[in-house]
Chain A
Amino acid sequence: MKPMLAAFAATALIAVGAYFALNEIAPFSSADRQTGDAVRLD
């Protein structure tokens, strides 16, 4: 039972980690990638 719960916790952890890590590494979304320097989205 413990490995199952640990796996579910790891799934959540990996998802959150991936979200922040990918944002940190580089802009990957189409909105970010196709925006010129002169365009501000925020």
Chain B
Amino acid sequence: MNVRLFAFLFAILLGSAASAQDAPEEAAPADRSATGGAQTLEDILRRQEGLPVEDRSGAPAGEAPVSSDQLGTLGGASDSDLWRELRYDTADVTSQIRGPATTTLIQDSGMAWTQFREGPLATYGGYLLLGTIVALFLFYMIRGKIRVYGKKSGQRVTRFKAFERFSHWLLAGSFILLGITGLITLFGRMTIGLFANNPAAYDTAREIYAFIALYSKWVHNNVSWAFMLALIFVFVLWVWHNLPDRTDFKWIAQGGGIIGNAHPPAKKFNFGQKMIFWSVIVLGGSISASGLSLLFPFELPMFAATFDKINAVGVPGWFGFAPLPTDLAPHQEMQLAQAWHAIVSFVLMAIIIAHIYIGSVGMEGAYDAMGSGEVSVEWAEQHHSIWAEKELTMPRKAPASAGATPAE
């Protein structure tokens, strides 16, 4: 069930219908009346062959039929009943250990989560990042740097004020740190596995990784607050300029001028930049929400409630899935939060790699906008003609000294 759930999350984000088709086939309902609901020899044989086995026993936990008239020390119940109740988290467990989820003694979704994390997540996530880098490299080879054409006048116009640049770099710096430390956490143990054939090198790699992982966790947990703060700053600063308007249609119709030398008219942000902005806000917001859930274990469960709303709309049915589970163990909430956190982060990292490309090597003069905050008039007129016209015709504020009467 959980593997299918993780596959569903993955399919939503990547828009892949294939994931749905890859989901394991549903096990046929088993007749377990002979064993009072417990597993049968057929179940064991199917499991040994790697075939799907109906997960739950036929009888609800705590209501297993008595298979013997003779009562033992457990009365009509058996050890199997108890283990089954623990297995499905329905046993009435009390614990003197404080904290949430301490009465959940067994939860079996951890293996599916681990397999997803070390399998499809790492594999497809890695391919996504490497594929993005390769695609950008090929694009650069074909298209080259987007140049500012015409004679340069040397005149410059302010593109971003100091606080806008501060907010951008607060977001960028924290995101890069979070991305690197997140990738270390996901791929670190897999990487040291490469040294498994050399015991001495393996031990050294483990020692080094233990040190790096410890500080990566610290950085990831604490730098996240800078990211969330910057996300709020950036949203407040630029949301007005990123609302859709009719210039976007022209930008889309001309393909953003990516191919050829056309420069569709644009205001402060063109449609491509608006897409980056909303990706950062929506995906960054989602990463922050799942990150907060991970920062405060078991305190902010959000998936059961979200699944309930998604089921109410009928979204799983659109992809051919059964309704999503809404009865989740606390640990399942954490596993789903981690999986979602990582999936969305991979997508945002790929988008940001493309953003870094176009803001640096991909376009002449683009870095200046966030570096010095000023761009050449020619750059502004070519890439943001409507904004440039407004800026250049706006009456300039006179220097503070002009017209002032010197104090005597």
A-B contact count (CB 8 A): 70
Pair B296/A15 contact, Cβ less than 8 Å: no
Q: Which among B96, B162, B174, B229 has the highest number of chain A CB atoms within 10 Å? A: B174
Residues 155-173 of chain B, each 1 if its beta carbon lies under 8 Å from chain A, else 0:
0000000110111111011
Q: How far, in whole Å, are A19 and B177 apart by their CA atoms in the complex?
A: 16
**A residues 8-42 touching B (CB-CB < 8 Å):** 8, 10-11, 14-16, 18-19, 28-30, 33-36
Contact of B297 among A6, A18, A30, A35 (CB under 8 A): A30
Shortest CB distance A26–B (Å)? 10
Q: Which among A1, A7, A18 has the highest number of chain B CB atoms within 10 Å? A: A7
Pair B295/A28 contact, Cβ less than 8 Å: yes
Shortest CB distance B183–A (Å)? 18
Pair B229/A14 contact, Cβ less than 8 Å: yes
Which residues does A use to contact B, with CB under 8 Å?
A: 1-4, 6-8, 10-11, 14-16, 18-19, 28-30, 33-36
Shortest CB distance B290–A (Å)? 16
Known: A6-B166, A7-B172. 13 other contacts (CB 8 A): A1-B371, A3-B163, A3-B169, A4-B165, A4-B166, A7-B169, A8-B169, A15-B219, A15-B223, A15-B226, A33-B98, A34-B99, A35-B98
Q: Is the interface of A mostly helix, strand, loop or mixed?
A: helix
Q: Is the interface of B mostly helix, strand, loop or mixed?
A: helix
Task: Please name 15 pairs of A and B residues whose Cβ atoms are closer than 8 Å in the assembled complex, sorted by A.
Answer: A1-B372, A3-B165, A3-B166, A4-B371, A7-B165, A7-B170, A7-B230, A8-B169, A10-B226, A11-B173, A15-B225, A30-B99, A33-B99, A34-B98, A35-B97
Q: In this assembly, does B149 line the interface, its C-beta being within 8 Å of a C-beta of chain A?
A: no
Shortest CB distance B343–A (Å)? 23
Pair B162/A11 contact, Cβ less than 8 Å: no
Shortest CB distance B226–A (Å)? 4
Q: Which among A15, A16, A19 has the highest number of chain B CB atoms within 10 Å? A: A15
Which residues does B use to contact A, with CB under 8 Å?
A: 96-100, 102, 162-163, 165-170, 172-174, 177, 218-219, 221-223, 225-226, 229-230, 295-297, 370-373
Pair B166/A7 contact, Cβ less than 8 Å: yes
Q: How far, in whole Å, are A19 and B218 apart by their CA atoms in the complex?
A: 8
Shortest CB distance B170–A (Å)? 4
Q: How far, in whole Å, are A6 and B170 apart by their CA atoms in the complex?
A: 8
Contact of A36 among B98, B223, B225, B371 (CB under 8 A): B98
